[in-house]
Amino acid sequence: MNIQEFYAAIRHKFEPEVLAQASENSLSYGTRQYLKLFKNKGHKPIFISRNIPAIFLGPIWFLYRRMYVHALLFLIISFGIELFLMQLSPPWISEILGDVVFSIYVSLFANSLYINNTRRRFKKGLMSSPSRLSIYLGLLVPVVVGVLGLLILKIYFLIT
């Protein structure tokens, strides 16, 4: 995958069609950052870089990047770590360790996960901008499952 193909895979509909014609000012900040990351570290399958939105938004960042399985795995692992730590320590420590530390760890690899996911989507020939129906369904299903999961956990904790 070369840089033009990577750009075509991540571009947004209001950005220029061809990277060679694009001036630096016409690209969004995020697109410039991912193009720079792809040029510098794109040859590696896994690399470490910082991603501040992935720390604070976690699964929402994965959903925004159309990485639905990653978002679901993030939630499952985060809740699993928190449940495990609740058995060993006070609740406030399990909250800090379960959420914050795991989010920071995942954010270190979030950019490499995104670039690998973009490569996979490009090889499959998936569109860079999905239809509105797939966006709404792709966001609605994990949100409903997440809310139901949180309600079940809250009920479980109230009962025990």
Q: Where are the domains of the chain?
A: 3-129, 130-160
Distance in angstroms (rounded) separating the CA atoms of residues 49 and 29: 16
pLDDT tens digits along 72-93: 888 888 888 878 877 877 777 7
Rounded mean pLDDT, 45-67: 80
What is the rounded average pLDDT for all residues in the chain? 75
pTM of the model as a whole: 0.64
- 143 confidence band (pLDDT: 50, 70, 90): confident
pLDDT tens digits along 39-50: 777 777 777 778
Sequence length of the chain is 160
Rounded mean pLDDT, 81-106: 77
Distance in angstroms (rounded) separating the CA atoms of residues 63 and 49: 19
Q: How many CB atoms lie within 10 A of CB 7?
A: 22
Rounded mean pLDDT, 113-142: 73
User: What is the pLDDT, as a whole number, of residue 145?
Assistant: 86
**Is residue 59 over pLDDT 80?**
yes
Long-range contacts of 76-79 (CB under 8 A, 24+ apart): 77/102, 78/102, 78/103, 79/149, 79/153
- 119 confidence band (pLDDT: 50, 70, 90): confident
